[in-house]
């Protein structure tokens, strides 16, 4: 469990109680954050992520975000968890992707033969599928820093779900990077390589 104090770190003046952090801020002060620093952050309901030693805080999700998240979770569970093909997890859950990177994707899928492992505290290693539901304030982060991280660690498939345009962008890992980008809307069905038999129209993810 995250403690109430941050260990010696220049940002917090060394061992002082962690101040309230503003939303949507990237904190980078010349010294990389560590997993120990991250684990000592307060359990205050904020959504913290650590990417290559840089701490980020994101705001609470919007109703449209949560609606899309709920529908996606429902359909993913029906396709993966119910038939026993793997497990589906929804944020907030820590996914450790290296010595200086812990993220909290909106949804993750681990197939039965996944390279990732589930510990008592977090998921360690690359999921088979990561879903991020973008917003105007997170789109750049999701499409650049997170995309690069997920490709580097071997996430096989990355979905960028945009409630604003009611679309899903599919990125498939090929030779260590995401080459092709396809955007699906309306009655189109995302041709997932990870979710075999996925038959849900894109429009069905944005009902309500």
Does one domain contain both 152 and 73?
A: yes
| Mean pLDDT along residues 33-37 | 87
pLDDT of residue 57: 87
| Mean pLDDT along residues 114-119 | 95
pLDDT of residue 35: 87
- End position of a domain, from candidates 58, 82, 97: 58
Helix (H, G, I), strand (E, B) or coil at 88: strand
Pairing of strands 54-58, 86-90: unpaired
| Mean pLDDT along residues 130-157 | 95
Is 69 within the bounds of a domain? Answer: yes
**Spatial distance between the Cα atoms of 5 and 2, rounded to a whole number of angstroms:** 9
Does one domain contain both 123 and 167?
A: yes
Does one domain contain both 137 and 93?
A: yes
Q: What tens digit of pLDDT does each residue of 121-142 get?
A: 999 999 999 999 999 888 999 9
Preceding amide of 76 cis, omega within 30: no
Is 4 within the bounds of a domain? Answer: no
DSSP 16: P
Looking at 21-25, 92-96, 195-199, which range is the least confident one?
A: 21-25
The range of the structural domain enclosing residue 20 comes to 10-58
pTM: 0.84
* Cβ(11)–Cβ(27) below 8 Å: yes
> Total structural domains in the chain?
2
* Cβ(87)–Cβ(109) below 8 Å: yes
């Amino acid at each position: 469990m995250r403690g109430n104090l941050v260990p010696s770190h220049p940002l917090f003046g060394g061992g002082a109680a962690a101040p309230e952090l503003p939303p949507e801020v990237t904190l980078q002060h010349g010294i990389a954050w560590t997993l120990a620093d991250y684990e000592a952050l307060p359990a205050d309901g904020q959504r913290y992520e650590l990417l290559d030693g840089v701490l980020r805080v994101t705001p609470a999700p919007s109703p449209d975000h949560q609606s899309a998240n709920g529908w996606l979770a429902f359909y993913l569970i029906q396709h993966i968890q119910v038939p026993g093909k793997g497990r589906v997890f929804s944020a907030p859950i820590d996914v450790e992707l290296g010595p200086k990177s812990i993220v909290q994707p909106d949804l993750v899928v681990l197939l039965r033969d996944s390279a990732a492992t589930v510990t008592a505290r977090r998921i360690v290693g690359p999921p088979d599928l990561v879903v991020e539901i973008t917003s105007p304030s997170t789109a750049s982060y999701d499409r650049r820093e997170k995309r690069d991280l997920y490709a580097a660690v071997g996430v096989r498939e990355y979905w960028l779900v945009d409630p604003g345009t009611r679309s899903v962008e599919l990125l498939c890992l090929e030779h260590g990077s995401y080459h092709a980008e396809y955007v699906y809307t309306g009655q189109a069905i995302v041709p997932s390589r990870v979710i075999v038999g996925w038959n849900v129209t894109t429009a069905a993810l944005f009902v309500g």
